Structure 1
Amino acid sequence: MLRIAVPFTTLLIFSNCGMPPAECEPNSRRCEGDLLIGCDDTGHEAVTDCTALGATCVPQLTRCIVATPMLQPDAGQTIDAGEATDAGAEDAGAPLEDAGLPDAGPAVIDAGTPDAGLVCTGAFPTNTTAPAMPPYAGTAYIDADAMQATDPSSFVDLTYAGRGVRTMFDRRTNSYNQVNALLFDARFGISKHVEIQVNPEFTQAVAEQHARFYAHAVGQLPAFLFRDLDTMWIHDGNDLFGGANRNILIHVQQGRYLAMYGWLEEVLLHEATHTSLDSYHLNMPRWQQAATADRVAISDYARDNPMREDVSETVPVWFFSRFRAQRLDASMLTTIENTVPNRLRYLDCLGFDDAILP
């Protein structure tokens, strides 16, 4: 029986409505019947009624769990930046160094030695192990421990750069707006700079706190996802993240809950894939050939939005299975391999690794 951990987004409600939240142990969770009681890092308590999600609260996991797949909230709709042109990415079929394909022997993480069996050219074989339906609703939410807040970050420092008018997308109004934003220069690794544009609804001090927090989290992403990342937008509100336009969109109330329940890093991985990989791979014939040969998508979200979400839903499971396999259970690894082997092979052949920016 497939168990899906439900992400916590719009159904969270504050306890003690109309009065200050009860004090609780920061970053803790517990079940009280089918109520999931969570506490963020500031000691503010929030309550999720698991039954409202068609789920039950499982004390051993301290999460709302449903027994069958259900449609997850959008991990972050891609903001249409217009039709992307091929920027000249290397042919995905070129034989490149193995990015970490597990060897046929013990399930260990390959240190990067090219495997004799990895073939990056030629036709993709029809997947004979494909399940009838996608195994997951959305891959940003399959395991909250796949990426962790304690993982290394390439974020180095943050400098306030003053105010400046920027065009920012705000999902609360579903529109682009001219904003006299608070600007911060975030440096990652030796030389990568990202401009963080923060809505002036925050004071400068609070804006800097948000900019530092999300810069650190983004710095935990692998270096290959920084390829097209130039800016970040930060707004208030419990609205969905997004990725495209050489940008990652963040709404801090949504981010607060994602961080509380362990999904923040996984959602940022999904969004950064939109930003840095979609335009080079999503519409490529070889990716489409791999998808056709697989016969099924990895998630309902990818199946229902194949021309928008297939790459961004597949890259997380590829990354988890190749570089975070020790954090996943064996059955999940098998499910991933059996569902999208050709897409995984396509990604293996790109030569990516899990290194953060140097």
Structure 2
Amino acid sequence: MNTKFLFTAVLMLCLNNQSYSQNSNYIYENGTLWHTGFYNILKSSDESVLDNTSYKSEEIALMWDRLANNGNGAWVEPLSWIYTINYKDNISAEMRIRQSDYTKTEADQAVERYKDYLGRLPYVLRNGIKLINIMKGNANFGGNNWNNSIDIYEGDLSERIIKDGNIEEMLLHEGAHSALDYLYNEDWITERNKDTKFVSKYAFDNPNREDISETFAVWLALRNVDNRLSTEDYNKVTQGLSYRIAYLNSLNFDINPIVGNTLSTESFKYEENLLFPNPVKNQINLINIDAKAYVIYNFLGVKVLEGVIKNNRVIPFDSFNTGLYFIKLDNNKKIKFIKE
């Protein structure tokens, strides 16, 4: 069979199968990259903090070629065109373009093609991406945390995602691999185990490889000051991933040039046994407190309710969505609770 035809057929199947999952373990049937509701996490109209690019030299560059070794992948050391990309917030990266695939003029054009896409990524990713490798091939992009690299393969897939407008989301996903995969630790796993779902089947099938990249993308959409998710997607994500999203909030990532909403759930110790039941169903019953007033925030740090504590110490809460919430009291006590 023609391998190019087979690749294109599989790709089209993924692109056209974007349904919500009926599986109780995850929200979306495919990876977040293929859900059209996530195509505008970053937009072409968003600010890019690209400063400049410059050609440096010809050098041997270590890069992962997932098509080498009969499709099993291998580390290769091709002679490459080397460029430097500088951003306005004083960070930079090295772009390496495989000479066997590109002339010098074509390499210049490839740098031009991707520089602004890269400039729209949040600081926390750009600061963690040190190497950007570009080569020809019909393959998904890749990202490696150990050497902080991303791999861009130019072929049918890259042409399609540029045309469809989710190239920034592809770079966002692989950039999270490059910059954030170190977060697979006990804290992440603890919060993940509290959540009810994975964001996608891809994350569910590969929990210790894809969960952070898949979750970070939707977290960034939620953190944007103009929330980039539909109401349906917002509700599904916030109800299924509330603990992991709250954990990412607690890390206080710099997301420049993206303008984020203000977080009010800053890191602090939470008191236990100050309310019941927990999880909450219809009302919050406060106990063992001497506070007079309260403010409640959702896990994104957005204030959802405030008021004076009544004599019965009951706060009605039946009209709110399921998920993770935080109460701040005027006596400096803080309480974390779940709404069922």
Give the TM-score category using the shorter length. 0.5 to 0.7
**In 2: Cα distance, 1:255 partner to 1:187 partner:** 23
User: What's the counterpart of residue 274 of structure 1?
Assistant: 177
Question: Deviations for 1:288-336, whole angstroms, at most 9, x for unmatched residues?
Answer: 1101111321111111111111111110111112216543211110100
Structure 2 counterpart of 1:216, one-letter code = D
Determine helix, strand or coil for the equivalent of 1:308. coil
Q: For the Cα contact (< 8 Å) 2:191–2:247, is it kept in 1? A: yes
User: What's the counterpart of residue 156 of structure 1?
Assistant: 51
Q: Give structure 1 stretches of 5+ with no counterpart.
A: 1-8, 14-47, 55-62, 71-130
Determine helix, strand or coil for the equivalent of 2:105. helix
Partner of residue 91 from structure 2, selected from 167, 170, 192: 192
Q: CA RMSD in A?
A: 2.5
Structure 1 counterpart of 2:114, one-letter code = Y
User: What's the counterpart of residue 133 of structure 1?
Assistant: 25
**In 2: Cα distance, 1:295 partner to 1:330 partner:** 19
1:350 CA drift (Å) = 0.9
Determine helix, strand or coil for the equivalent of 1:277. helix
Say if 2:216 is the partner of 1:315: yes
| Structure possessing the higher relative contact order (Cα contacts under 8 Å, 6 or more residues apart) | 1
User: What's the counterpart of residue 175 of structure 1?
Assistant: 74
- Structure 1 residues 160 and 140 mapped into 2: Cα distance closer, same or farther (>3 Å)? same
1:354 CA drift (Å) = 3.0
Q: For the Cα contact (< 8 Å) 2:25–2:196, is it kept in 1? A: no
Determine helix, strand or coil for the equivalent of 1:11. helix
**In 2: Cα distance, 1:248 partner to 1:347 partner:** 22
User: What's the counterpart of residue 64 of structure 1?
Assistant: 16
**In 1: Cα distance, 2:7 partner to 2:45 partner:** 26
Match runs of 1:114-129 below 5 Å: none
| Structure with higher helix content | 2
Structure 2 counterpart of 1:141, one-letter code = W
Q: For the Cα contact (< 8 Å) 2:20–2:27, is it kept in 1? A: no
Q: For the Cα contact (< 8 Å) 2:56–2:82, is it kept in 1? A: yes
User: What's the counterpart of residue 97 of structure 1?
Assistant: none
Q: TM-score normalized by structure 2?
A: 0.66
Say if 2:8 is the partner of 1:11: yes
1:352 CA drift (Å) = 2.0
1:183 CA drift (Å) = 0.7
1:69 CA drift (Å) = 4.2
Partner of residue 61 from structure 2, selected from 141, 144, 166: 166
- Structure 1 residues 328 and 66 mapped into 2: Cα distance closer, same or farther (>3 Å)? closer
Determine helix, strand or coil for the equivalent of 2:171. helix
Q: For the Cα contact (< 8 Å) 1:225–1:273, is it kept in 2? A: yes
Say if 2:150 is the partner of 1:248: yes
Say if 2:42 is the partner of 1:147: yes
Q: For the Cα contact (< 8 Å) 1:141–1:266, is it kept in 2? A: no
Q: For the Cα contact (< 8 Å) 1:290–1:346, is it kept in 2? A: yes
User: What's the counterpart of residue 287 of structure 2?
Assistant: none
Q: Give structure 2 stretches of 5+ with no counterpart.
A: 1-5, 259-340
Structure 2 counterpart of 1:152, one-letter code = E
**In 1: Cα distance, 2:254 partner to 2:206 partner:** 27
Choose 1 or 2 for highest CA Rg. Answer: 2
**In 2: Cα distance, 1:326 partner to 1:288 partner:** 26
Determine helix, strand or coil for the equivalent of 1:332. helix
Q: TM-score normalized by structure 1?
A: 0.63
Structure 1 counterpart of 2:151, one-letter code = L
Match runs of 1:3-82 below 5 Å: 10-11=7-8, 53=13, 64=16, 66-67=18-19, 69=21
Say if 2:229 is the partner of 1:350: no
**In 1: Cα distance, 2:242 partner to 2:114 partner:** 33
Partner of residue 289 from structure 1, selected from 190, 204, 208: 190
| Structure with higher strand content | 2
1:12 CA drift (Å) = 6.2
1:213 CA drift (Å) = 1.7
**In 1: Cα distance, 2:252 partner to 2:126 partner:** 15
Paired positions, count: 243
Structure 2 counterpart of 1:10, one-letter code = F
**In 2: Cα distance, 1:252 partner to 1:151 partner:** 24
Partner of residue 102 from structure 2, selected from 202, 216, 226: 202
Q: For the Cα contact (< 8 Å) 1:186–1:194, is it kept in 2? A: yes
1:146 CA drift (Å) = 2.4
- Structure 1 residues 324 and 205 mapped into 2: Cα distance closer, same or farther (>3 Å)? farther
1:255 CA drift (Å) = 2.0
